[in-house]
């Protein structure tokens, strides 16, 4: 019933039913996991982390790993974020957004080779993924591989010539050159 309420956009009702289900059975993993997802969407990250941890004790659902990874990354707990993104990727390796998120985390840590590799995986799955292409370009420029970064930015510009961010990044890359 809670899932039906969630689908009908009755989030408060779904939260109430998930909590009731967990009172009846604290080990009811889908209720914890779905409650974690709702909390994350509502910006209640601490509550979401607690529910994801509870859920992951019983079911290694990639959505719960992804949620925890996003929370840990935001709090700059990068090693934990990488672990959970890695677990999510194991189950959903064809999801380019997971590879992109992992690349962003590696980039924030300064692990630019790993970031480049993950952006490459995201682009291999979805060549039109503009965010991954811009992320890859930024990493390449940070690695002082400006010509390769410019090539990626030009590809992004061909796909979306009206994007001001691409033009700004191109300008910055040419200044570095």
Report whether pLDDT(173) > 80.
Answer: yes
pLDDT tens digits, 103-116: 999 999 999 999 99
Report whether pLDDT(15) > 90.
Answer: no
**Interatomic CA distance for residues 145 and 132, integer angstroms:** 17
What would the mean pLDDT of 69-93 be, rounded to a whole number? 95
What would the mean pLDDT of 1-29 be, rounded to a whole number? 81
Sign of CA dihedral 140, 143, 145, 146: positive
- Residue 36's pLDDT is what? 94
**Interatomic CA distance for residues 52 and 39, integer angstroms:** 10
The dihedrals phi and psi of 111, each to the nearest 5 degrees, come to: -90, 75
The count of C-alpha atoms lying within 13 angstroms of the C-alpha of 91, restricted to the half-sphere facing its C-beta, is: 12
pTM score: 0.85
Lowest-confidence range among 30-34, 74-78, 147-151?
Answer: 30-34
pLDDT tens digits, 118-144: 999 999 999 999 999 999 999 999 999
How much of the chain, in percent, has pLDDT values that exceed 90? 75
What would the mean pLDDT of 3-16 be, rounded to a whole number? 76
**Interatomic CA distance for residues 159 and 89, integer angstroms:** 27
Q: Which residues contact 137 (CB under 8 A, 6 or more apart)?
A: 149, 150, 152, 153, 156, 169, 173
What would the mean pLDDT of 1-7 be, rounded to a whole number? 70
**Interatomic CA distance for residues 87 and 93, integer angstroms:** 10
């Amino acid at each position: 019933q809670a899932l039906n309420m969630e689908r009908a956009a009755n989030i408060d009702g779904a939260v109430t039913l998930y909590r009731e289900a967990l009172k009846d059975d604290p080990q009811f993993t889908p209720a914890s996991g779905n409650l974690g997802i709702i909390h994350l969407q509502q910006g209640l990250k601490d509550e979401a982390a607690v529910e994801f941890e509870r859920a992951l004790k019983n079911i290694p659902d990639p959505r719960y790993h992804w949620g925890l990874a996003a929370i840990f990354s935001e709090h700059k707990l990068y090693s934990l974020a990488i672990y959970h993104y890695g677990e999510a990727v194991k189950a959903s390796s064809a999801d380019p957004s997971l590879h992109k998120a992992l690349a962003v985390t590696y980039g924030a840590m300064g692990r630019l080779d790993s970031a480049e590799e993950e952006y490459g995986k995201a682009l291999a799955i979805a060549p039109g993924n503009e965010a991954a292409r811009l992320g890859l370009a930024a990493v390449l420029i940070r690695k002082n591989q400006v010509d390769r970064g410019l090539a990626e930015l030009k590809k992004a510009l061909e796909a979306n010539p009206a994007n001001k961010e691409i033009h700004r990044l191109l300008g910055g890359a040419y200044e570095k050159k």
